[in-house]
Amino acid sequence: MLRRRALVLAALPLGGAPWAAQAEAAYAGPLFDAHLHYNDDAQQPHPPADVLARMARAGVRGALVNSRPNDGTLRLVAEGGPAWVPFVRLYRNRADYTGWFADDSIRRMVLAMLEAGSPAGPFRGLGEFHLYDSANADGSTAVALMKLARERGLTVLAHVDDVAVDKLLGHAPGAALIWAHAGISGEPVARVQALLHKHPGLRGELSYRPGLTQDGRLSDDWRALLSRHADRFLIGSDTWVTQRWQHYEALFADYRGWLGQLPREVAQRIAWGNAAALFGLAAPTAA
């Protein structure tokens, strides 16, 4: 190991670290949070005014919002403010996490919620949902909801593995699916790229993605992938536990840091432009 490290150090160019200049130019434009939860347990410590203030301080001007149960989403988007993109969460409670994919009452709940809409307008998608075993991507409700999403032009937010991504989009070719975390088990970059090539409706959301950065620096293979497929990635907070709200601004400051290591146009797309294109959002007005 020591010998190998010496070789790596010797390979660095003279005159200091190659990323020193880039580190100064954090991305400064608007951000879209493509993975926001406002779950029941977060609402007392972080009432809507607190959430809106954190978003404003972070420069987050719009968000894909979904909550367990869905009341949290309805409560938050009723506040107005940022460009809200409400999604129907499939879970009424924690028990639904493990059985939704074969539970027809979930499909009926989704239909009723789509019918009712939200204070911010129609629901635009389904999820976030989880599949802990990719075999469950073939569950009757999972298949039905993928077909429903394609029929109605809804986007799906799915926390699943690479096999399940392939299965879900196989059930509804051409559907729009945001892959939450873009491979949270560390699926190889080449595998992520292969899925992007195979499924034109697939996009990746980058919270918790292993190997994306180290010490605030984008890895070389991720920089290449993000640059090559600049129109296919989004960023999100994933406020899945209440504690995550305390780090909301720091999280996006961190994103701004590595976005600044990408070409400006690439950074703009990942930060805001891809969500704006997917959901038809207007350019944000000046802060």
Shortest gap between Cβ of 53 and Zn ion (angstroms)?
22
Does 179 bind Zn ion (CB under 5 A)? Our answer is: no
Which lies closer to Zn ion via its Cβ, residue 128 or residue 166? 128
The residue range among 80-88, 215-223, 232-240, 269-277 that interacts with Zn ion, by the rule CB under 5 A, is 232-240
Environment class of residue 18 by beta-carbon count within 10 Å: exposed (0-12), middle (13-18) or buried (19+)? exposed
Shortest gap between Cβ of 127 and Zn ion (angstroms)?
9
User: What string marks each residue from 44 to 63 as x (binds Zn ion by CB under 5 A) or -?
Assistant: --------------------
Identify residues 112-151 at the interface with Zn ion (CB under 5 A).
Answer: 128
Number of residues in contact with Zn ion under rule CB under 5 A: 3
Alpha-carbon gap, residue 30 to 286, rounded angstroms: 9
Q: At what angle do helices 220-228 and 189-198 cross, to 10 degrees?
A: 10
Alpha-carbon gap, residue 274 to 17, rounded angstroms: 31
Contact in structure between 258 and 19 (CB atoms under 8 Å): no
Which lies closer to Zn ion via its Cβ, residue 19 or residue 132? 132
Alpha-carbon gap, residue 177 to 156, rounded angstroms: 5
Shortest gap between Cβ of 64 and Zn ion (angstroms)?
10
Residue 256, CA distances (Å) to 8, 137, 277 in order: 27, 34, 20
Which lies closer to Zn ion via its Cβ, residue 68 or residue 256? 68
3-state secondary structure 72-88: HHHHHHCCCCCEEEEEE
Which lies closer to Zn ion via its Cβ, residue 166 or residue 238? 238
Q: Hey, is 214 helix, strand or coil? A: strand
Which lies closer to Zn ion via its Cβ, residue 96 or residue 238? 238
The residue range among 3-11, 51-59, 138-146, 235-243 that interacts with Zn ion, by the rule CB under 5 A, is 235-243
Which lies closer to Zn ion via its Cβ, residue 149 or residue 160? 160
Task: Out of 87, 222, 240, 279, name the contact with Zn ion by CB under 5 A.
Answer: 240
Which residue bears the tokens 């195979």? Answer: 198
Helix, strand, coil shares, percent, the chain, to 5: 50, 15, 35
Shortest gap between Cβ of 128 and Zn ion (angstroms)?
5
Alpha-carbon gap, residue 248 to 253, rounded angstroms: 9
Alpha-carbon gap, residue 70 to 114, rounded angstroms: 12
Task: Out of 238, 255, 267, 284, name the contact with Zn ion by CB under 5 A.
Answer: 238
Which lies closer to Zn ion via its Cβ, residue 86 or residue 284? 86
Shortest gap between Cβ of 257 and Zn ion (angstroms)?
22
Shortest gap between Cβ of 264 and Zn ion (angstroms)?
29
List contacts with Zn ion (CB under 5 A). 128, 238, 240
